[in-house]
Amino acid sequence: MLADLDLAVLRDFGTALLIGGLIGVEREKRNTREGYGVAGLRSFVLLSQLGAIGGWLGMRLGSPWILGATLLAAAAVVLAGYATSTKKYPDSLGITTELAALVVCLLGALVTTGYRELAIGLAVTTAALLAYKQPLHDLVGRLGWNDVLVGLRFLLATFIVLPLLPNEAIDPWGAINPYTLWLLVLLISGLSLVGYVVTRWLGPGKGIGATAAAGGLVSSTAVTLTFVKQSREPGAGGRQLAGGILLAWGIMFVRVLVAASVVCSAMFQRMLPAFGAMAAASAIAAAVCLRTGGTVEPQAAAVVPVKNPFSLWSACKFAALFAGVQLLLKLGQHHLPASGVYAVAAIAGLTDVDAITLSMAEQASASPGLVATAVTAILVAVVSNTLVKASIASVLGHRLSRPVWLGTVGILLTGVGALMVS
């Protein structure tokens, strides 16, 4: 009898039971805390088992209607429980638990019909959505209607505009491909959007370190300017604010590494030593400043004025900047010596590192032989950008000059040294 057991089937049923237990534990704890609910741990385990049996029998007997009948039966039980619950607890009009119960039944069916990994991933996601109820509600509360509209514009730009663009160069030098250009614009906008959401999730008054880290995901320049302005106020902690600036720069180094690696994966290993070293040096310098700068109240951290990073107008402006950098790089490669690329990178980095990063990464992706040149050019742009921000901090915020420049020198020496060694 034991020899006839299919270990894969046992594994699938065990997975279904664990999925029910995972979500059931969360619902049980939630229902206990809130004082009402139609289903807990045992109910969710049974529902997942019901879905798994229905899916397995339907597959085994070649009768999909079995799974359909199983789901209808589960839905009927859930609806009956909901009707009973609303009579007993008139104030509990939410249907989250009921929907979660139906989802668990479907996940159990997914497991035994050949989609085990998908079911596990969806189960973990579902449990997280249920468990993080309050943080998610707080995040939605912090979002304005304009943020929702901007999110919709981002989706339109991704799934409507992008497929309509021609996927071929439209200039004589082969520098400007509208499809690739817009795709890279969406990549940078998406990375910035993640930082924006984190910033809104944290909210104001979370301390200099948290404010700098979240703001650095969107714009390290905005963090620098905000902290420089605050440093001129009476009683502001100069070393603390300098630490925040350095921390935001460290986040920027990681952001550049991620953006370039997404476009050209071969660049990751080449960039990691230098950019990893600079990020580590930034973190160390920031920690020293934050620890030796005295005690500063969390509310003393300035609110970095980051705006939602995606709008059609800003996307078009970045696309124009990116196209201009691409064109300059192509012309430089044709009419200037090899160092011409680095000159373009240094100039582009004075105001923004994203355009030159994506341009060089895109070229390295098309021509693997340019990977080393691309990495060096991006480093040149980052050095240029960092020096500009350090100069702004020292000129406009005299109290930040010494710690910022000490940190800057350490960061750049570490990065250049790591690149030469690697």
> What is the pLDDT, as a whole number, of residue 300?
44
Q: Are residues 250 and 375 in the same domain?
A: yes
Which of 287, 289, 290, 278 lies closest to 249 in space, CA to CA?
278
Alpha-helical runs (H) found in 236-370 = 238-263, 267-292, 312-335, 339-349, 354-366
Query: CB count, 10 Å around CB of 224?
Result: 31
> What is the pLDDT, as a whole number, of residue 204?
52
Query: Is 93 a domain residue?
Result: yes
- What range does the domain containing 72 cover? 2-131
Q: Are residues 264 and 126 in the same domain?
A: no
Rounded CA-CA distance 322/361 in Å is 12
> How many structural domains does the chain have?
2
Rounded CA-CA distance 396/399 in Å is 9
Q: Are residues 308 and 270 in the same domain?
A: yes
Q: Are residues 11 and 159 in the same domain?
A: no
User: Dihedral sign, CA of 40, 45, 50, 51?
Assistant: positive
Q: Are residues 184 and 123 in the same domain?
A: no
Domain boundary residue among 131, 162, 190?
A: 131
Rounded CA-CA distance 353/412 in Å is 15
DSSP classification of residue 62: T
Query: Is 279 a domain residue?
Result: yes
Query: Is 136 a domain residue?
Result: no
Q: What is the pLDDT along the chain (422 residues), one digit of tens a residue?
A: 444 557 888 888 999 899 988 888 888 777 666 555 556 788 888 888 989 999 899 888 888 888 888 888 888 888 877 777 667 666 665 677 778 888 889 999 999 888 889 989 999 988 888 888 877 777 677 667 776 777 787 788 888 888 888 877 776 666 677 887 787 777 777 766 766 666 666 555 456 777 777 777 777 887 888 788 777 776 656 778 888 889 989 999 998 999 899 888 889 999 999 999 999 999 999 888 888 755 544 444 455 555 555 566 667 777 777 777 777 776 766 655 566 788 888 888 887 788 888 888 888 888 888 888 889 999 999 999 999 999 988 888 777 888 889 999 999 999 888 888 87
Q: Are residues 315 and 188 in the same domain?
A: yes
Query: Is 120 a domain residue?
Result: yes
Asked if 325 contacts 363 with a C-beta cutoff of 8 angstroms, the reply is no
> What is the pLDDT, as a whole number, of residue 280?
94
Query: Is 137 a domain residue?
Result: no
Query: Is 204 a domain residue?
Result: yes
Rounded CA-CA distance 371/308 in Å is 33
Which of 44, 72, 60, 45 lies closest to 114 in space, CA to CA?
60
Query: Is 259 a domain residue?
Result: yes
Q: What is the three-class DSSP state of 286? A: helix
Asked if 304 contacts 226 with a C-beta cutoff of 8 angstroms, the reply is yes
Q: Are residues 125 and 165 in the same domain?
A: no
Tokens of 419: 């690149």
Only one residue has tokens 């502001």, namely: 236
Q: Are residues 230 and 362 in the same domain?
A: yes
One-letter amino acid identity for 369?
A: G
